[in-house]
Structure 1
């Protein structure tokens, strides 16, 4: 478990998918809970807190469950200049305090940004009927600009303590905004090449129909080397064969067009997980609806942050299949465990 200064050296860490946490909320006296707490260090993340926030008035029950499990908070380490890293911090932080901090200081601006940037993908799944790409792009550019302004405002508060930091961050945010705008424009140009009805676009269905490959074929693929077996099918198909696509391009693992760098491992997990959903490997259903889409995006987030843990526990078979496939290909050492509880 990496931190900026040292390694966590306690019990093996276990990241709980939200359905496991939900199990502890609904069934308070599971023997499984005491055994879990004794053998492992339970961890939770901002993605956990985000899901808890969506539960509304029942959120306190989930926080109580985390508290009773003596869970620790895990988050990606972000530098003073607000750059995401490939490291994570594990911290003893009461879930109620973490939730309050998340809602007050982290959640609002990042939630708006995350929701806006996800709109292109939602459109790809058949959502946002009646909206064209220009409308969605404007929303994304405005939200990204809001995030950059938020970062600049935070730097203004400490610029007297760190000479030169305001100029450095100003240059950084301007370059980020420029790269973001260019990436959006480029992706829109590529999308429009093969789209006749932009307002009622469903990229996933169009893609699967064109490839003539989907869940029926893909869900029969067994480990090991799931990703490689999937790619052996697609690399011979029109669109990939004649363009000499690599498996990395297929999985979206090329250099990040916004940050102009190699993707970090947790970012690669997100990309591979989402690609598996798109092509139809144990896909989530009804993703053109906001609620189902949001849940699927949270699953990808859980898979990404859990890559810093020793174990990941879940009861969701589709999530487990996709995460195991992504971890196997990317050599993530986290073991994904399916939890089966009888009579619950």
Structure 2
């Protein structure tokens, strides 16, 4: 039995229970129990209608748990009559579940975990392994998130921006263990795009696809990072790039620009260049200007300084960098790069070493240390 297919049923079944009046947290527990039961039963007795089977079993699990809880007697009276079983209605509840999982009262990490569990169908163990934390820690995080949204009902459409930020957080976690979070985020965003015509949903999907297309070229055989300018572009997935660009063009045509569309446009310009030297940095700076106007984000200003350094020279880049908060992560690394471009090799070597001490992960730290060693060797 294909567990991925089974996992894909999760949001449908959960949505049915929520629409029938089940509390989100209790419904999610019931669906997980039904999935476990399916793994046990289906290999020897596959159902004719898998969704209907899961709905029926999950609803019974929910009723059993409700009846066993004396504190929920009033709810029991409301749900005592079980709906007739049979083919389950083909209603897509994915969008509602996204908004529920991305409730503004949740922390970003809790929202991501809940989205992966409830909409992605991942187990607590899989999510814990992907985040490199103990399973008990992740179980507590998910339990807290479920308690927070317990009883929440959405009568009006929720905040698309919150949902998209959660999905982008998932994507940026990359991958580890037996769960590829980048691929999982793309799968979830495709589901969201199928039920929403919001241009920023399309913008995020386009951004993910174009960035993911470069994945194979991002690391060397020894696991070390390969900077964008040094990547073997023949290893980029041109089909993913083409799909992302097509989605982006359709979104931009709606003339409702948002930050994810602007980021996707920048990624597309990088992907369009046959070589690093042919990158249209002037147009990239223009898109960063749009992003600054949309977000006024310090991170965007930091990235813009790099683009300015490429388009107008390292001195211009350093001038743009001077306007960015120096405590920002990767500020020192950008400063090192621009100083090296400006011929200040000794200064750049020192800054690369300093940036390595501040690096958020081992691959990035090792890459910066190699840059420092390379320049120190050149000075010697």
Query: TM (normalized to structure 2)?
Result: 0.25
Normalised by the length of structure 1, the TM-score is 0.27
Higher strand share: 1
Select the structure with the greater relative contact order (CA < 8 A; seq sep ≥ 6): 1
Q: Which is richer in helix?
A: 2
